[in-house]
Chain A
């Protein structure tokens, strides 16, 4: 190239434009889907990011099935209807842990400075990747169910019950991810995000009815497991997948997820907006 760069005249005089005071919902949705597209392209080009939603669920299902099966219910086959919903919840919780680490890494990159300088909805750079992550939760729960079926799990709820279970797991992942997103946008380094996320992830996954019957626990622990939304999701998953029944637990599970989202979306957006 020898000639000088001529900038294309793509619009009229730069200042001859109107300024909006807020982002219309339609624009915000387009921004979110655009950024979800970006996250999906990233996932496709870095397939190693999918290890936690593919190999991990396989490992968990096989390991927990063989280890606890005999001890708790007498045999693996008996334990699977209790175990599989628990593992779905657990793999969902572990796979939304990555949301915090990813947003932290992303925010340290230059492209986030540009997002911040664009007139886009504040929530879009957070909600976009969150939308792409729905695919991760769907993969994680599908893998778990598939491995379960191979090991002898026969869901009584049939295809519909299982599909409803996967949808519920995706909803759980989406709402819990806001907790990790909040950690990711508040903590200073990837290491700190990882450490803090672990501290949140373990109680969420294990202080629940995911792997053991609650009535075997001491009283105070029972109280803790009862307020943990993961417990309600696990119960709802069991009802949906094993019995094909839409019970009150499903309602409690959805309510729990909604409560988590209602608390942590504003927190995450605020700490994200504050970031220097």
Chain B
């Protein structure tokens, strides 16, 4: 790596992204007692991209983000934000970032509007301007009706949106989003995705964490997969998928009783062992060639085994994750009682 040139802020030519990475972390390490929460992670995020950090519970996503956002001391390695050293130039870094943490970081005692006004004032806006930006943001995030209610009466989704709004008051160049859609309903989730894309279209850079594989796939230009503090893979979602390289056929049977016979046929026609779905009413099988899908479906037809649905699926990041880490991602189900009983 060549030596870092000085950060060039306030340059007049606004269209070409700077050569200085938005985030550059080398051998980032964090230890909590004996627990190595983040273990030698390298990350480079270029200006203008959406970079996803993907990992299951406890992987170290929040810890990485907090270190980069100057919220946690860095135990080992180094990190730069737009060329500014996170350890020694924290104040400069804080002027360039907006942070939306995993848990709501707004004041429970204040209303939504008061919160936004306060954060605007803290960042140097005049009282009037802070009010007008607060009102704009409340309108944009569909919170106008709730503007004068204390946060303690907000729903989880409303808090989440207010939280993001509070990070956007000064339009930071780099925005950290820790699990931005956790706890949102599907509609709000899609809106959050649009908002994130919008921010990037307007010139911000986004570093987000997620445990949802489809979210990383849908949003991020590049993804780092981390597991137990280590980075296990990095690349575009497409590159990660080609590492697995197979699509699969998923079939839903009309009658669950026929699943056994159908699985036997599929096993003969493909080189994979089909997996029966948890309900027993269907199966999925990996394809080495897309034409095998037709073979299987024709065979089912010829044997009079009716289906209700069939889809050919690209390998999901779930598959990628499984291949990379050797264990299932624990994402969709909370680890607690859900698995037992």
Contacts and interface: CB of A to CB of B under 8 A. Distances in A.
Interface of A: 1, 4-23, 27, 30-31, 34-35, 37-38, 41-42, 45-46, 109-120, 124, 276
B48 to A, nearest CB: 10
B171 interface: yes
A41 B109 contact: yes
Contact of A119 (B9, B123, B166, B192): B123
Given A117-B70, A119-B123, 18 more contacts: A4-B191, A4-B195, A8-B133, A13-B14, A14-B171, A15-B96, A17-B10, A17-B173, A19-B96, A22-B91, A41-B110, A110-B103, A110-B106, A113-B103, A114-B105, A114-B119, A117-B94, A119-B91
B-side interface size class: 35 or more
Interface of A is mostly: loop
Interface of B: 7, 9-11, 14, 18, 47, 69-73, 82, 84, 89, 91-92, 94-97, 99, 101, 103-110, 114, 118-119, 121-124, 133, 136-137, 140-142, 150, 166, 168-173, 191-192, 194-195, 198-199, 202-204
A27 B110 CA distance: 22
Nearest to A112: B105
B69 A117 contact: yes
A57 B197 CA distance: 58
B92 A5 contact: no
A11 B171 contact: yes
Nearest to A120: B122
Contacts of A13: 14, 203
B198 A7 contact: yes
A172 B97 CA distance: 39
A117 B97 contact: yes
Contact of A118 (B18, B47, B94, B137): B94
10 contacts: A5-B194, A7-B199, A14-B202, A18-B9, A30-B121, A34-B118, A38-B109, A112-B105, A114-B119, A120-B122
Given A5-B195, A21-B92, A113-B101, A14 B84 contact: no
Nearest to B95: A119
Most chain A CB inside 10 Å of its own CB: which residue of B106, B109, B150: B109
Contacts of A20: 91-92, 95
Contact of A113 (B9, B10, B105, B119): B105
Contacts, number: 142
Contacts of B107: 38, 109, 111
Contacts of A109: 107-108
A7 B168 CA distance: 8
Contacts of A12: 14
A10 B136 contact: yes
A21 B195 contact: no
A111 B18 contact: no
Nearest to A11: B171
A114 B133 CA distance: 18
A31 B136 CA distance: 22
Contacts of B166: 114
Contact of B71 (A5, A17, A116, A124): A116
B122 A18 contact: no
Given A4-B195, A110-B105, A19 B84 contact: yes
A27 B122 CA distance: 8
Contact of B171 (A10, A42, A112, A120): A10
Contacts of B168: 7
Nearest to B92: A19
Contact of A15 (B99, B108, B173): B173
A14 B173 contact: yes
B195 A7 contact: yes
Contact of A10 (B9, B94, B133): B133
A20 B89 CA distance: 10
Most chain B CB inside 10 Å of its own CB: which residue of A6, A17, A109, A118: A118
Nearest to B142: A1
A217 B82 CA distance: 65
Contact of A9 (B82, B96, B105, B202): B202
Given A5-B194, A27-B124, A38-B118, A117 B71 contact: yes
Contacts of B95: 17, 19-20, 119
Contacts of A41: 109-110, 114
A16 B10 CA distance: 4
Contact of A111 (B69, B89, B105): B105
A14 B203 CA distance: 6
A8 B138 CA distance: 11
A45 B109 contact: yes
B175 to A, nearest CB: 9
B99 A114 contact: yes
B146 to A, nearest CB: 13
Contacts of B101: 110, 113-114
A6 B122 CA distance: 24
Most chain A CB inside 10 Å of its own CB: which residue of B103, B118, B133, B141: B118
A18 B10 contact: yes
B61 to A, nearest CB: 16
A8 B140 contact: yes
Nearest to B18: A15
Contacts of B7: 19
Given A41-B109, A42-B109, A119 B136 contact: no
B141 A118 contact: no
Contacts of B199: 7
